Amino acid sequence: MFVWKSAGISTALGLAAAMICGTTAIAQASPIGEVTPAPAPAPVAATSEYIIHANDQLNVQVFGDSTLSQSVTVLPSGDISYPLIGRVHVAGESPEAASKTIAAALKKYVRNPVVTVILAQQGEINVLVLGGVKNTGKYQLTSSARLTDAVAAAGGLVGTAQAYPTAKVTDYAGHLEEVSLQKLYGLGDTSQDVPVTDGSIVYIPSPATIDVEVSGAVDHPGEVEISQGDRLSMAIAKAGNSDAADSDLNNIVVTRTTATGQVQKYNVNLYNALQNGETSADMTMQKGDVVYVPKSKHGLNGNGSSNPLYLLLLGLRNLFPHI
């Protein structure tokens, strides 16, 4: 619980900034139209840095005048409705700053008011997440939630594309903000992790898909649909790389036709590339690529199903039970 007092009253609770990370409650997936309730809120962590958000519950106490002491909820607009002074905007302020704001407004009616603001309970908001996430739906989050919290609640982004799309975040008033997920997730630019509010709609474009052909020693040779930006290992995993396929992953051939009609061939030792962590050798697929996986003469690198790369590719394949 946060306690601050204006007019020289000292802070009653000390700093515990390490507790901030635990305040965001993320719910499980739910169908659109249903709200997944968050777990029961934990006690609010004490920190002088907390910022008031919509739906937060505040206790406002005026020293010496119990009739003015009120329990209020911050409206979606960021205002509270308070006796005598009407609506006062407090969202975006710390409880200490909010106590000064309220005290200043009360000076017209009360001589030298001393105001204490207590954060009784952090509010909850409903956010709708659509598009390229694993579980679209409406989620109940804490009032301090940000874009990454909404995405995590929806199960994360779909696909393994290297180029992240641009997300669109619309608040309850219809204001649109575009966010570069490439900067946020690809470059770690936390300034792109914008707050979400009650009634926000988050839309993330689904990754574009491309078709590549995988032939040779795979379970399901033929055309395979993958996300744009997926790598060779994903194409092979979706085509099937069971022990029965007896694939030789040391001698894969990728044939690519450029926009000018030039045919390029790449010999890829995918086994060594992944075993040694050389992800650059696990080339990114392009539309129309043809992948040929030869049959091994001695089982998969001589080790069959005990080979760690085989287990890795099989694990990837388990992500796609429809193949």
pLDDT of 196 strictly over 70? yes
Q: Taking Cα atoms as reference points, which of 213, 314, 300, 217 lies closest to residue 254? A: 213
pLDDT of 2 strictly over 80? no
Cα dihedral sign, 142-182-313-302? negative
User: What phi and psi values does residue 292 have, to the nearest 5 degrees?
Assistant: -115, 125
Q: Rounded CA gap, 242 and 161, in Å?
A: 24
Domains 124-204 and 209-317 share a fold: yes
Q: Rounded CA gap, 186 and 161, in Å?
A: 11
124-204 CATH, one of 3.10.20.30, 3.10.560.10, 1.10.260.40, 3.40.50.300: 3.10.560.10
pLDDT of 138 strictly over 60? yes
Under the banding of pLDDT at 50, 70 and 90, the label for residue 12 is very low
Higher pLDDT: 207 or 77? It is 77
Side chain identity, residue 65: D
Greatest Cα pair distance in the chain: 93
pLDDT, one tens digit per residue, over 269-298 is 988 887 877 777 888 899 999 999 998 876
Query: Where do runs of H (alpha helix) occur along the chain?
Result: 95-106, 147-153, 181, 232-239, 270-275, 308-317
What are the structural domain ranges in the chain? 2-25+43-121, 124-204, 209-317
pLDDT of 67 strictly over 90? no
pLDDT at 242: 83
User: What phi and psi values does residue 161 have, to the nearest 5 degrees?
Assistant: -60, 145
Mean pLDDT of 192-214: 90
pLDDT at 15: 32
Mean pLDDT of 147-165: 82
Is 3.30.1200.10 the CATH classification of the domain at 2-25+43-121? no
Poorest-pLDDT segment among 20-29, 78-87, 194-203: 20-29
Q: 96 is written with which tokens?
A: 């200490």
pLDDT of 3 strictly over 60? no
- Share the mean pLDDT of the chain: 79
pLDDT at 279: 76
pLDDT at 299: 54
Instruction: Confirm if 69 and 60 have CB atoms less than 8 A apart.
Output: yes
pLDDT, one tens digit per residue, over 91-107 is 989 999 999 999 999 99
Q: 32 is written with which tokens?
A: 């659109």
- Please state which CATH number belongs to domain 209-317: 3.10.560.10
Side chain identity, residue 278: E
pLDDT of 64 strictly over 50? yes
What contacts 231, CB < 8 A, 6 or more positions away?
Answer: 160, 279, 282, 283, 284, 285
Select the highest-mean-pLDDT range: 10-14, 53-57, 148-152, 272-276.
148-152
pLDDT, one tens digit per residue, over 36-53 is 444 444 444 444 478 898
Strand partners, 223: 213
Strand partners, 82: 86
Instruction: Confirm if 124 and 141 have CB atoms less than 8 A apart.
Output: yes
Q: 176 is written with which tokens?
A: 């649109």
